[in-house]
């Protein structure tokens, strides 16, 4: 008998000797429990990243409460090297992400922690697509609020030459699953204007001899751009109205040479190490994000100079995906010629409201929506020259980020996160190329109503 089982039985008998007469049954129970033990092994990368995250947290705590918190020096001696490179230029970002006041910086509370406030049922109004402006000719295929999502395969308009009018026939080839109906929780990102006002406040303190900014009243900063004036420097674009920060290469300071694919390209781990280091060096917090993941793109055999890493946003522990079913969050582009980060998008203040909406309980309706192509429907050509069979696999439940544009104000968009099913396409056809790898179906009932989801017109080159 196994030593562990023997010890367990010994302990049990010490409580109740009478159980010994059932030893055979007890052994079988313990054996069955041991056999059922899940194979869960902690990911070493996760352990490392969490440690780095805690180090960063300690650094922030240290700055905010220099004498009160026992973790002021926590990790510092052991891991201080990991944070040696924090650069001054990003103080604007650090301000944005929320830093304390007592070290001379401005504190903006909203960005410094993950906040979700429950605001009751249907609090975001009608979130069906009927309430949105329809996309114009240059907008995302399928309209419906797709703009702004940084996706390598953002649903592009079908721009097939006229002779190749392709219809897609979606069939489900996954495991059986059930939908439970009830309610689902929808999240909406809150914008607020405190960050915008804080920047204006800082500007007001600057004393120029020819204009006094302090005289302007109730000011807000609409946009702000900061340039790093150094070799391989960056430009930082801040949109305080939307609480968004983006970083790009300051092209004036980067060499402009052609790209010859090196004989040995960095592997995924090396690329992620580059982006991890960049984010850590610039103090960009990953507290609310998952670990970095290489964005897979269709390369068509061409070696690209760039590759992207996405750190998915997590809302209440759930990873967010974009409308194409790919992870959605902070996205870092890497230039493979120089092995340097070249862009960062998706840095955002993570303040959300949550609200309950009625979930779709009719599985047939969900499947019908999926077979129409999901959120990015396909036009059905009456005289198609080809029909491609597309097989969908077992869906997974996920939060999908959807941008919705106001019918009244086209510049005003809200970002909601809706529980949805992501059906993977399991037989990607080589040709004709299909511009998606997943089909996404929101689980909020009103979003599936056919009248709210007009099938888009065809886009054909003349």
Binding site for other proteins (CB under 8 A): 4, 8, 11-12, 14-16, 19, 22, 25-26, 28-40, 42-43, 46-47, 50-51, 53-54, 57-58, 61, 68-79, 116, 177-178, 180, 183, 185, 287, 290, 314, 316-319, 356, 396-397
Give the nearer residue to other proteins in terms of CB position, either 30 or 310: 30
Give the nearer residue to other proteins in terms of CB position, either 57 or 365: 57
CA 426, 432, 438, 444 dihedral sign is negative
CB of 28 to other proteins, least distance (A): 5
CB of 57 to other proteins, least distance (A): 6
Q: Which two tokens stand for residue 168?
A: 């897609």
Q: Which two tokens stand for residue 426?
A: 């399991």
Give the nearer residue to other proteins in terms of CB position, either 36 or 207: 36
Q: Which two tokens stand for residue 56?
A: 């960063």
CB of 1 to other proteins, least distance (A): 14
Sequence-distant contacts of 294-303: CB under 8 A, at least 24 apart? 294/268, 295/152, 295/326, 295/331, 297/152, 297/153, 298/153, 298/433, 303/261, 303/265
Give the nearer residue to other proteins in terms of CB position, either 76 or 167: 76
CB of 315 to other proteins, least distance (A): 10
For residue 297, which phi and psi values (nearest 5 degrees)? -125, 160
CB of 8 to other proteins, least distance (A): 7
Of the candidates 326, 325, 328, 324, the one whose C-alpha atom is nearest the C-alpha of residue 314 is 328
CB of 264 to other proteins, least distance (A): 31
Give the nearer residue to other proteins in terms of CB position, either 109 or 230: 109
Helix (H, G, I), strand (E, B) or coil at 147: coil
Distance, in Å, from the CA atom of 449 to the CA atom of 25, rounded to the nearest integer, reads 56
- Residue 255: which residues within 8 A CB-CB, separation 6 or more? 338
Give the nearer residue to other proteins in terms of CB position, either 29 or 206: 29
Question: CA dist 370 to 167, 236, 373, 391, 393, Å?
Answer: 15, 39, 5, 11, 11
CB of 32 to other proteins, least distance (A): 6
Q: Which residues, in sequence order, are bridge partners of residue 294?
A: 309
Give the nearer residue to other proteins in terms of CB position, either 333 or 395: 395
Give the nearer residue to other proteins in terms of CB position, either 249 or 399: 399
CB of 331 to other proteins, least distance (A): 19
Structural contact between residues 257 and 250, judged by C-beta atoms closer than 8 angstroms:
no
Distance, in Å, from the CA atom of 274 to the CA atom of 338, rounded to the nearest integer, reads 11
Q: Which two tokens stand for residue 199?
A: 């920047």
Give the nearer residue to other proteins in terms of CB position, either 79 or 232: 79
CB of 390 to other proteins, least distance (A): 23
Structural contact between residues 241 and 250, judged by C-beta atoms closer than 8 angstroms:
no
């Amino acid at each position: 008998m196994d030593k562990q089982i023997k010890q367990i039985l010994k302990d049990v008998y010490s409580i109740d000797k009478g159980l010994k007469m059932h030893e055979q049954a007890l052994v079988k129970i313990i054996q069955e429990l041991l056999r059922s033990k899940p194979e869960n092994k902690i990911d070493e990368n996760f352990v490392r990243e969490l440690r780095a995250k805690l180090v960063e947290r300690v650094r922030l705590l240290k700055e905010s409460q220099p004498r009160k918190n026992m973790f002021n020096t926590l990790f510092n001696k052991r891991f201080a090297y990991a944070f040696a490179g924090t650069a001054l230029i990003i103080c604007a970002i650090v301000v944005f992400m929320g830093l304390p006041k007592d070290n001379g910086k401005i504190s903006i509370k909203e960005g410094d922690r993950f906040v979700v406030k429950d605001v009751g049922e249907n609090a975001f109004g009608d979130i069906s697509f009927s309430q949105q402006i329809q996309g114009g000719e240059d907008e995302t295929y399928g309209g419906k609020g797709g703009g702004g999502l940084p996706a390598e395969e953002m649903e592009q308009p079908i721009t097939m030459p006229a002779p190749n009018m392709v219809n897609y026939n979606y069939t489900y080839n996954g495991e059986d699953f059930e939908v439970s109906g009830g309610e689902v929780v929808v999240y909406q990102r809150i914008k607020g204007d405190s960050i915008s006002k804080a920047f204006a406040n800082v500007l007001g303190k600057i004393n120029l001899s020819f204009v006094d900014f302090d005289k302007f009243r109730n000011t807000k900063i609409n946009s702000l751009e900061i340039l790093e004036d150094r070799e391989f420097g960056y430009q930082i674009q801040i949109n305080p109205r939307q609480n968004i920060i983006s970083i790009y290469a300051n092209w004036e300071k980067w060499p402009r040479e052609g790209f010859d694919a090196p004989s040995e390209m960095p592997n995924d781990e090396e690329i992620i190490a580059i982006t991890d280091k960049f984010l850590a060096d610039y103090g960009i917090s990953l507290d609310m994000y998952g670990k970095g993941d290489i964005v897979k793109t269709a390369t068509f055999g061409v070696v690209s100079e760039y590759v992207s890493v996405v750190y998915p946003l997590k809302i209440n522990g759930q990873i967010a995906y974009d409308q194409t079913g790919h992870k959605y969050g902070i996205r870092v582009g890497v230039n493979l010629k120089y092995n340097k980060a070249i862009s960062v998008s998706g840095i955002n203040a993570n303040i959300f409201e949550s609200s309950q909406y009625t979930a779709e309980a009719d599985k047939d309706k969900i499947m019908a929506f999926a077979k129409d192509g999901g959120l990015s429907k396909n036009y059905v050509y009456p005289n198609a020259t080809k029909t491609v069979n597309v097989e969908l696999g077992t869906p997974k439940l996920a939060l999908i980020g959807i941008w919705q544009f106001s019918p009244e104000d086209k510049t005003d968009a809200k970002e909601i996160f809706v529980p949805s099913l992501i059906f993977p396409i399991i037989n990607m056809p080589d040709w004709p190329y299909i511009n998606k790898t997943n089909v996404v179906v929101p689980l909020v009932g009103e979003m599936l109503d056919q009248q709210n989801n007009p099938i888009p017109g065809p886009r054909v080159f003349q």
